[in-house]
Amino acid sequence: MKYLAEYRDAGIARTLIARIRDSATRPWTLMEVCGGQTHTIVRQGLDELLEGAVEMIHGPGCPVCVTPLEQIDKALAIAARPGVIFTSFGDMLRVPGSACDLQQVRARGGDVKVVYSPLDALALAQKHPDREVVFFAVGFETTAPANAMAVFRARALGVKNFSVLVSHVTVPPAITAILEAPDNRVQGFLAAGHVCAVMGWEEYEPISARYKVPIIVTGFEPVDILEGIAMAVAQLEAGRHEVENQYVRSVRRQGTPPARALVEQVFELTNRQWRGIGEIPMSGLALRKEFAAYDAERRFGVEGLKVTEPAACRAGDVLTGRIKPPQCAAFGGACTPDRPLGAPMVSTEGACSAYYNLAKYRMADAGEGTS
């Protein structure tokens, strides 16, 4: 398949690995922002192949993982109410709240449905005018246009029984927070290609200039990631700090202007809590006052719900790259995909999930067993 097979070519990958190793005069530390990139790196063993030249640490780029516990508890409270159809993407159903998860709410009789698009949830609201239909709007800038479209369409169609529980976050403030942390080790970033396909990379340019770090917009296949790493290492070795675009087949500097315009029409920036990290100022999206009627938090009166994150789950340290998942004492013991303490062990983009489900297979290939 065009733009897939060639980006998994082993020969090209070996050439890029050799280039990175030959050009690195010292070990460099890079962070891939996106959880999808993390899974490729771990599945393909790219981190092991680059050991000694580049250390890859994993960032907060999993939308399920960064959704704070209090938002999960708000979802659980709404989903358990009679007369509500609560809709979400599948990953969210097994993210643990304080007492249970959405899957357990469904088992107890709650009407919780998996949908593939917020517009599917809007269609459910039109089909069931006697029920309240809520969509769990999580994600980075990538999913924001579709969620904005659902709210925009609901208002245009006069659908009154539809609302969204918004937990959107944005990437640039998270990168800034990581760089400003006193224990920061990150010297360059691989930015998420799908986020930049929507938003472009203009917002990254002042960050790169201010903190003197290269930021490479990168795709998700092994060759994409290795080429992005090679570009970052070349900048670091030359003492440069710029934003470059590896993902030229999908991303333009301005992103997708119609999608950006719709997001800006429906949402505005707000302070947002991140799981295990805390509040990052102006890092989230909230509905503008013109669309406040579609805010599920207000509609169901759960705005004031506050909870404490469990101390045993070190999701925040994993999401900010302070530790690798196996360095958490709960990893693989108290916390497994069957009994997760936090979202990074549940999500298909979570770093803990990647290490638990993928790293053990490469250890098996190396004759180290799977325990």
- Tens digits of residue pLDDT in 141-160: 999 999 999 999 999 999 99
Q: Do residues 307 and 73 touch, judged by C-beta distance below 8 A?
A: yes
- pLDDT reported for residue 364: 47
Q: In the chain, what is the straight-line distance between the N-terminal and C-terminal CA atoms, in Å?
A: 36
d(CA 220, CA 193): 8
82 contacts: CB under 8 Å, gap ≥ 6: none
Q: Quick: pLDDT tens for 259-278.
A: 999 999 999 999 999 988 99
Q: Would you say the CATH fold of 65-170+255-300 matches that of 5-61+183-245?
A: yes
Residue spans per domain, the chain: 5-61+183-245, 65-170+255-300, 315-360
Spatial CA neighbour of 296 closest among 138, 102, 143, 139: 138
- pLDDT reported for residue 304: 86
The conformation of residue 182, written as its DSSP 8-state character, comes to T
Q: Quick: pLDDT tens for 44-82.
A: 999 999 999 999 999 998 888 999 999 999 999 999 999
- pLDDT reported for residue 368: 42
Tokens coding 328: 């958490």
What stretches of the chain show up as alpha helix (H) in DSSP?
10-23, 35-44, 46-49, 63-66, 69-79, 102-107, 118-127, 144-157, 171-180, 193-199, 204-211, 222-238, 257-266, 296-300, 315-319, 351-354, 360-365
CA 241 to each of CA 32, 69, 166, 255, 281: distance values in angstroms, whole numbers, following the listed order: 16, 36, 34, 21, 25
| Residue segments in the chain with a per-residue pLDDT below the cut of 70 | 1-3, 359-371
What's the farthest any 2 CA atoms get from each other in the chain? 66
Q: Domain 65-170+255-300's class?
A: alpha beta
**CATH superfamily membership of 5-61+183-245:** HypD, alpha/beta domain 1 (3.40.50.11750)
Q: Do residues 199 and 313 touch, judged by C-beta distance below 8 A?
A: no
The pair phi, psi for residue 314, each rounded to 5°, is -100, 40
Residue 236, strand partner residues: none
